[in-house]
């Protein structure tokens, strides 16, 4: 009993200390745009010790001075034309389940343009990510080929998707503020390794680069049960929904055996989809990629956030910005705050 009370006191002390560190780090971040390592560690600790409740509270305070634009009428983008009612439905599902699929698929021509780019462009390979090579489907030499984010933002088709008004509005509704475009990511997953790879995020984990964020995923080839479908645990993004004893392990990857028995089978979601299938997810959900039995998988992912507090990344340098992209960034300063134009 005494030990229990002692442990509880220690936990409360640690929480109070972390809240103070976070508040100081956030105040400094507002002035400098940079997050101190202690501030980021405090955020990770607070997420785990409060089972996500801290993030929700901090997010509410952050967005108070960044209200969302009022959007009236339907918007047209890669997922088709979406009216206000449908946006509301998407947001309700997203809030409840932690993910939502778009009914329409992305235009096949756009998908094949990006797919063909990925077959020609160089990408970084595990484990060191220090060599850029072109993926050879006949001879994979790594379980993952990660494209450099700065290369992605200079691709005109990806710039087009970054400007997509439907994606932006889904993020706006979910975050309840004007979103910031955080980063793009695109990678090949291959059959190079036969077991689950931590490197390729094939063990359950949650992301925590930021206080609150939303990701949009686009499958760029057909994804079946055999070539690495994305998996997630429905509803596990909600505050209080994770097992505290797993969060007490910290910000780490969790073997299936420790996790899946806790949830209903119907909540263990596997996302299959043809090339062009798209979904939005709050990756606070437990999620992972499935190890591949055959073939490969190419995914494009965007992250939208309410604040850049958290992991520090350099700004993206746009060398090949289309006129439309330049104008768009000039007109959407918050959203485009991570882009720097070279010319
Ligand atoms: Fe992840």
Q: How far apart are CA 254 and CA 265, in angstroms?
A: 18
Could you give the CA distance from residue 168 to residue 161 in angstroms, rounded to a whole number? 10
Spacing, Cα 207 to ligand 1 middle (Å): 5
Ligand 1 centre to CA of 270 (Å) is 15
- For the chain, 343 residues long, give each residue's pLDDT as a single digit of tens: 667 777 778 888 889 999 999 999 999 999 999 999 999 999 999 999 999 999 999 999 999 999 999 998 899 999 999 999 999 999 999 999 999 999 999 999 999 999 999 999 999 998 888 889 999 999 999 999 999 999 999 999 999 999 999 999 999 999 999 999 999 999 999 999 867 666 656 889 999 999 999 999 999 999 999 999 999 999 999 999 999 999 999 888 998 889 888 899 999 999 999 999 999 999 999 999 999 999 999 999 999 999 999 999 999 999 988 899 999 999 999 999 999 998 6
Distance 311 CA to ligand 1 centre (A): 14
Distance 156 CA to ligand 1 centre (A): 26
Compute the CA torsion angle 234, 236, 239, 243 (nearest 10 deg).
150
pLDDT of residue 137: 95
C-alpha to C-alpha distance for 192 and 141, rounded to whole angstroms: 6
178 CA distance to ligand 1 middle (Å): 23
Residue 311: predicted pLDDT: 95
> How much distance in Å is there from the Cα of 85 to the middle of ligand 1?
30
Q: How far is the CA of 10 from the centre of ligand 1 (A)?
A: 30
Measure 300 CA to ligand 1 centroid, in angstroms: 13
201 alpha carbon to ligand 1 midpoint, in Å? 6
Q: How far is the CA of 327 from the centre of ligand 1 (A)?
A: 32
Contact between 284 and 99 (Cβ < 8 Å):
no
CA of 74 to the centre of ligand 1 (A): 31
pLDDT of residue 138: 94
Q: What is the pLDDT of residue 321?
A: 85
Can you give the pTM of this predicted structure?
0.95
| Rounded distance from Cα 307 to ligand 1 centre (Å) | 18
Question: Residue length, the chain?
Answer: 343
CA distance linking residue 266 with residue 260, whole number of Å: 11
User: What's the 3-state SS for the chain?
Assistant: CHHHHHHHHHHHHHHHHHHHHHHHHHHHHHHHCCCCHHHHHHHHHHHHHCCCHHHHHHHHHHHCCCCCCCCCCCEEECCEEECHHHHHHHHHHHHHHCEEECCCCCCHHHHHHHHHHHHHCEEEECCCCCCEEECCCCCCCCCEEECCHHHHHCCHHHHHHHCCHHHHHHHHHHHCCCCEEEEEEEEEECCCCCCCCCCCCCCEECCCCCCCEEEEEEECCCECCCCCCEEEECCCCCCCCCCHHHHCCCCCCECHHHCHHHCCHHHEEEECECCCCEEEECCCCCEEECCCCCCCEEEEEEEEECCCCCCCCCCEEECCCCHHHHHHHHHCCCCCCCEEECC
Q: How far is the CA of 326 from the centre of ligand 1 (A)?
A: 30
Question: What pLDDT shows up at residue 312?
Answer: 95
Q: How far is the CA of 73 from the centre of ligand 1 (A)?
A: 34
Peptide bond before residue 293 is cis, with ω within 30 degrees of 0: no
CA of 233 to the centre of ligand 1 (A): 12
Residues whose beta carbons lie less than 5 angstroms from ion ligand 1: 201, 207
Closest CA to 247 of 262, 267, 234: 262
- CA 70 to centroid of ligand 1, rounded, Å: 31
Interval between CA 284 and ligand 1 midpoint (Å) = 8
Distances (CA, A) of 343 to 61, 144, 339: 36, 33, 12
Distance 20 CA to ligand 1 centre (A): 28
Backbone angles phi, psi at 257, to 5 degrees: -60, -30
Q: How far is the CA of 44 from the centre of ligand 1 (A)?
A: 15
Q: What are phi and psi of 279, to 5 degrees?
A: -150, 155
d(CA 105, CA 220): 10
Task: Kindly compute the dihedral angle of the four CA atoms of residues 170, 101, 184, 282, in this order, to the nearest 10 degrees.
Answer: 70
Q: How many angstroms separate the CA atoms of 282 and 285, rounded?
A: 6
How far is ligand 1, taken at its centre, from the CA of residue 144, in Å? 14
- Cα(302) to centroid(ligand 1), Å: 12
């Amino acid at each position: 009993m005494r030990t229990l009370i002692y442990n509880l006191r220690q936990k409360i002390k640690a929480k109070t200390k972390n809240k103070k560190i976070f508040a100081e780090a956030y105040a400094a971040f507002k002035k400098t745009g940079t997050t101190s390592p202690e501030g980021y560690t405090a955020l990770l600790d607070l997420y785990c010790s409060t089972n996500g409740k801290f993030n929700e509270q901090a997010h509410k305070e952050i967005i108070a001075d960044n209200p969302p634009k009022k959007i009236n009428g339907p918007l047209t983008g890669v997922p088709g034309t979406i009216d206000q009612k449908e946006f509301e439905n998407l947001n309700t599902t997203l809030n409840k389940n932690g993910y939502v699929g778009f009914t329409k698929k992305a235009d096949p021509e756009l998908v094949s343009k990006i797919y063909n780019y990925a077959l020609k462009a160089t990408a970084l390979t595990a484990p060191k990510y220090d060599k850029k090579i072109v993926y050879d489907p006949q001879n994979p030499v790594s379980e993952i080929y990660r494209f450099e984010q700065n290369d992605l933002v200079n691709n005109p088709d990806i710039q087009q998707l970054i400007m997509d008004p439907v994606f932006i509005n889904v993020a706006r509704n979910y975050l309840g503020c004007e979103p910031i475009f955080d980063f793009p990511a695109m990678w090949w997953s291959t059959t190079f390794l036969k077991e689950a790879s931590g490197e390729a995020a094939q063990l359950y984990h949650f992301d925590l680069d930021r206080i609150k964020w939303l990701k949009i995923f686009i499958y760029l080839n057909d994804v079946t049960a055999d070539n690495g479908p994305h998996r997630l645990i429905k509803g596990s993004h909600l505050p209080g929904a994770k097992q505290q004893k797993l969060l007490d392990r910290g910000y780490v990857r969790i073997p299936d055996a420790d996790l899946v028995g806790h949830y209903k089978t119907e909540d263990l979601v596997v996302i299959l989809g043809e090339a062009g299938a798209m979904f939005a997810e709050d990756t606070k959900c437990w999620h992972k990629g499935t190890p591949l039995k055959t073939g490969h998988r190419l995914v494009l992912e965007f992250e939208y956030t309410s604040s850049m507090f958290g992991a520090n990344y350099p700004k993206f340098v746009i060398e090949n910005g289309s006129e439309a992209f330049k104008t768009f960034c000039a007109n959407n300063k918050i959203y485009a705050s991570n882009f720097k134009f070279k010319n």
